[in-house]
Amino acid sequence: MVTLFPAQINDFPPENAFFSLLDICKTFRTKKTETAVLRGVNLSVREHEFVSIVGPSGCGKSTLLKIAGGIMSATSGSIRLKDETFFKYLPKEKLRDFGFVFQHDNLFAWRTCEKNLRLPLEVMKLKGPKWDARIYELLRLVGLEKYRTMYPHEMSGGMRQRASIARALVHNPSILILDQPFGALDAITRRILAFELLNIWKTTRKTILFVTNNVEEALLLSGRVCVLAHGHSGIFREIAVDIPEEERTPDLLGKDSFIRHVEELDGLLRSL
């Protein structure tokens, strides 16, 4: 079910990928110090693929996602999106291809659930019946159509994060980037939302890059798990997760084979 591959082995070249990070390096500099967080990271992703990134705290997972989504520039390296290559950072006109979900929902307290979803459309000047329908489509997808007039303080943590995911999808991006989106939630809500995210992916078939500190989530949701490590050049390990979609159900979590693989990946991370 789970196969471990050596570092940076893909069965398809970057030029055939939908999205690629190529030899990405990131160094944070102050007047006195330089700290290299990412060293020569290469990651190619197929269209519609769900890829998780795991690793110990401080190894650069969130930094890599911020570079991937155009929030931060790399010190060196390039980003290939579809058939175009960009050096160090994505130009502003390409940011519409991405939707970003953070650990905290970052909803605006003075806007209702519906109006929080409408905000990206206002910023991008996307108006008309098509986009109004898109808002309601996303609210239905995440189960919030009955709560569209509620304000964030009236919603549970899980509801707010579902609204955050819907907001990231409302402008119909090509790639959805999620940076530990369930990290602030309790264990029960977190598991429920993991399955809801899996359903969202099955429904929308968006290309997803997902950072998590939860090994179970990574193996449940992903077709591939990439492991980052402190001080290591590139991807430390790539793990192909060969679990059929129809088997990714709550019953899977209790199976001995799945539990063994969770323990195996958890042991790998603890050794880093």
pLDDT single digits (tens) 192-205: 999 999 999 999 99
For domain 2-271, give the CATH number.
Answer: 3.40.50.300
pLDDT value of residue 79: 95
Give Cα separations from 140 to 62, 120, 127 (angstroms): 29, 18, 20
Instruction: Please name the residue that has the structure tokens 């997760």.
Output: 241
pLDDT value of residue 233: 79
Give Cα separations from 95 to 90, 189, 195, 209 (angstroms): 7, 30, 27, 15
What mean pLDDT is predicted for residues 137-163?
A: 96
Structure tokens at 39: 């060293």
pTM recorded for the entire structure: 0.92
Is the distance from CB of 241 to CB of 1 less than 8 angstroms? yes
CA distance 251 to 158: 22
CA distance 182 to 211: 10
Rounded to the nearest 10°, the torsion over CA 102, 16, 243, 225 is -40
- Comparing CA positions, the residue from 141, 138, 198, 142 lying closest to residue 172 is 138
pLDDT tens digits, residue range 254-268?
999 999 999 999 999
